[in-house]
Amino acid sequence: MCLTHITNSKYNIILLESTNRLNIMLCKGKLVITMVLGVVFIILPIISTLLDPVTILVNHNTRVTENSFMFELFQKEVEGAHVSLYIFNVTNADRFMDGKDHKLKVEEVGPFTYAEIRQNVDIDLNEESGELEFTPRMKLRFIPEESVADPEDVNITVPNLALLSATSLLSTYPSWIQQGYNFLVSQQNYHSISSFNVHSYLWGYNDPLIALANKLVPGLIYFDKLGIIDRLYENKTMYRMKVGITDIDRFSIKTLKKYIRETDWAKHSPLECYNFTDTYEGVSYPPGLTLETPLNLFRIGVCRALDLEFQDKIAMDYGAEAWQYKISDRTFTKDCNTNKGVCGMLDLSNCTYGIPIAMSRAHFLDTDPKLYERIEGISPDPKIHDSILLIEPKIGFTLSTTLSLQMNINLGDISFNEATHSFSNMVLPVAYIKVVQQDVFSELDYVLKLIHTTGPNILITIDIILFLIGVILLAYSGVVAYKNKCCDKQTKSAHIPNEKQSAPLIGCHST
């Protein structure tokens, strides 16, 4: 009986010790898991703050890939900028031509506003090379409510662009060509200042002088009419544009090629070809812009890039800062030597087939007064005539654009022709164009709010919750560790064998 009792006691002690060891191991395992989870929940908000997952998510969703949001948006026909034109109407034509007035007097007439409707077609997306090639198609829709009147109902007195341009084109040719040209012009009784309705002046009018210039010098030009919009949005040519689509160069223009519209562009050489660096159309830029990122602006019809210069940071309604840019003075000082040493205009003659078109800020803002010393009625005002762009730097969206540029005729020595000699060595303001981008698309507006308000608020809430859970788990782990330590001591003391109870009883007999 005593032997059985001793055996059972030892078995119970061993079983109890095994159970306790197992419980201790389980407690320690739970403790380790709880501590690890607590540390993870504290580290996650820190990583979230450093990596900014909202921006990463948005950049991923705005990438240019097949069936992506940006690629679908890129293919849509959209109404983009509103283009307003202001014509410089001549008020002293007779006195100027008779030599009674030394200065040409002009007054601004406008605006005549059109909406740009754009769609990109013949799209070739090459994700492997990170490039997108396409043909942009543009059409204009007249906006009566934003215009002073119907262009067909307003008559203006303006320099005869066809006569002045044709004369200027022939100013460097041999005298026998000039004499032949003078004879033909005199037979037609042309005048260097004429009256047109605004629609004809904007969209072009058929003039035999253009055809005449082409006949005298074949291949010189390919168009048969001349107008402001006709030159900026000419419908006889088409463009193939190649842009980047990676996060580093998203929508930066790589190449632009100009073709005759009727030809198969894939089989013919382009009329003109341009290569660009750090140049954009002004709708989207690469994400993650810095103040050191060089930006240039390009618009089809201008053919030369406009340098942008950072000005200021502007607080926006959705809580973030937009970066304000303007056209840099460098843009209008590149061609000082071309413009007879006078700065303030960008020469476009190389891409207008020799027609001496030059671009300046509206009303010659910030230019050398020598440019308009023979023009009366010029009144530059930075609040009205400056160009301002607002860009969201995180994802590179353009928030708003107000671009004011003036089209001028930069005439050299055209005194060889009697009808144009009064305009020799003058810069004639023709019209200025104000391009105003409309409000951002509703889809982009949603993205901006997600990045700067909704997303960060949700992310901060999640980060706070995760951090609190982490702190609670670590605190709980500390309490459990302390209890386990005490329990360990108690368990060890409780399991020290009692030698007196374990030893066999001497003199024990069965009853």
Q: Which of 274, 293, 279, 283 is nearest to 244 (CA)?
A: 279
What pLDDT score was predicted for residue 199? Answer: 92
Q: Is the CB of residue 106 less than 8 Å from the CB of residue 378?
A: yes
Q: Specify the amino acid at residue 333.
A: T
Q: What angle do CA 279, 338, 163 make, to 5 degrees?
A: 100
Please tell me the predicted confidence (pLDDT) of residue 503.
42
Tokens coding 435: 């391009």
How much is the pLDDT for 505?
Answer: 41
**Res. 499: pLDDT tops 60:** no
CB count in 10 Å sphere of residue 295: 24
Confidence of residue 118 (pLDDT cuts 50, 70, 90): confident
User: What mean pLDDT do residues 431-448 have?
Assistant: 74
Question: How high does pLDDT run on average in the chain?
Answer: 81
pLDDT value at position 178? 87
Average pLDDT score over residue span 312-330:
85
Q: How far is it, in rounded angstroms, from Cα 259 to Cα 158? A: 31
Q: What is the dihedral of CA 308, 309, 312, 318, to 10 degrees?
A: 20
pLDDT tens for each residue of 63-87: 788 888 788 888 888 888 899 999 9
Q: What is the pLDDT of residue 508?
A: 41
Max Cα distance, the chain (Å): 156
Amino acid 253: pLDDT: 93
DSSP strand pairing (388-392 vs 397-410):
antiparallel
Instruction: Specify the range with the lowest mean pLDDT, choosing from 23-32, 303-312, 499-508.
Output: 499-508
- 511 pLDDT band, cuts 50/70/90, is very low
Specify whether the CB–CB gap between 156 and 227 falls below 8 A.
Answer: no
Q: pLDDT by residue (tens digit) across 401-428?
A: 899 999 999 888 888 988 888 898 899 9
What pLDDT, on a 0 to 100 scale, did the predictor assign at position 429?
94
Is it the case that residue 465 has pLDDT exceeding 50? Answer: yes
Instruction: Quote the tokens at residue 132.
Output: 């997108």
Reading the block at residue 242, the tokens are 């190649």
Rounded distance, CA 87 to CA 258, Å? 28
How confident is the model over 284-295, as pLDDT tens digits? 888 888 898 999
Give mean pLDDT, residues 111-123: 91
Structure confidence at residue 143 (pLDDT): 95
pLDDT of residue 111: 96
| For residue 145, pLDDT beyond 50 | yes
Residue 494, pLDDT > 70, answer no
pLDDT > 70: percent of the chain = 80
Who has greater pLDDT, 315 or 156? 156
Residue written as token pair 């662009």: 161
Report, as an integer, the average pLDDT of 496-510: 44
Which of 301, 319, 338, 285 shows the shortest CA–CA distance to 227?
A: 301
In this predicted structure, what is the pLDDT of residue 185? 82
